[in-house]
A = this chain, B = another copy of it.
Amino acid sequence: MPRTAPKLIPASQECKDCPIRHRAVCAKCEPDELDALEQIKFYRSFEAGQTVVWAGDSMEFVASVVTGIGTLSQTMEDGRRQMVGLLLPSDFVGRPGRDTSAYDVTAATDVVMCCFRRKPFQDMMLRTPHIGQRLLEMTLDELDAAREWMLLLGRKTAREKIASLLCIIARRDASLKLSRSGGSMSFDLPLTREAMSEYLGLTLETVSRQMSALRKEGLIVTEGKRHIVIPDFDLLLEETGDDSDGGFLV
């Protein structure tokens, strides 16, 4: 599938003077622009499970995830919940021009965010077109990801959903590029079974059962509840129902 993977700015283009390299917003920043960003920037950290903002609450900043993993979710009146966004390091949170959050934003693991006060950030976007251009790129990538996710929600079986989620996390979690060797890779699942079920549009029981099934068949190996080893990534990929080429693997 032709989904474009979120582009990471090559290290050579990062803002070296920037204490944290918030690649999301200042990939091409000039010194004066960087100064301006510094002026309106602050950090916030959240513990695993903590809510960053509730849907409908006012949000006086936009932010970029520095470390950890967050989620965006929608809740129906009767409590049914669907995750609609997964936030990984360098992902952008918040919509310039909107002053309340459209979604519940939650820290799945401990999270550090680099925040920018919203109003001055918006002003800066007007003066600095490449920030908007970068944001457009990122938003288009997110839209592609959302559409891939819609296929998963609408048409995949529970087994395919689980395999897809594991492959998505394995692919996107930069931390485990290191622990990859041969066809095998391993990582810590950043999501509880409940969070996985909210991601996939399933119940947590079904998630648990399918995880057990994949384990029994040797497609995954678990160490404790959360640590996952994928002995053969291509084998797991075949269970996702996606085109064999993997499409958006980069």
Interface residues of A in 120-169 (CB under 8 A from B): 129, 132-133, 135-137, 139-140, 142-144, 146-151, 153-155
Question: Residue A32 at the B interface, CB < 8 A?
Answer: no
Question: Residue A177 at the B interface, CB < 8 A?
Answer: no
Decide if B56 touches A2 in the complex (CB within 8 Å).
Answer: yes
- Which of A33-41, A76-84, A181-189, A210-218 forms part of the interface with chain B? A76-84
Chain B residues whose C-beta falls within 8 Å of the C-beta of A100 in the assembled complex = 2
A78 to B136 CA separation, bound complex (whole angstroms):
33
Instruction: Tell me the A residues contacting B by CB distance below 8 Å.
Output: 1-4, 55-56, 72, 74, 76-78, 80-82, 84-85, 95, 97-98, 100-103, 129, 132-133, 135-137, 139-140, 142-144, 146-151, 153-155, 200-201, 241-244
* Known pairs A72-B147, A132-B133 / 11 extra A-B pairs, C-beta < 8 Å: A1-B74, A2-B55, A3-B102, A4-B98, A76-B155, A76-B241, A77-B244, A84-B147, A136-B136, A146-B150, A149-B150
Q: Which 3 A-B pairs have the closest CB atoms?
A: A154-B201, A153-B153, A84-B147
Q: What are 13 A-to-B residue pairs whose CB atoms are below 8 Å? A: A1-B74, A4-B98, A77-B243, A80-B155, A82-B151, A84-B150, A129-B129, A129-B132, A132-B136, A139-B143, A146-B147, A150-B153, A153-B153
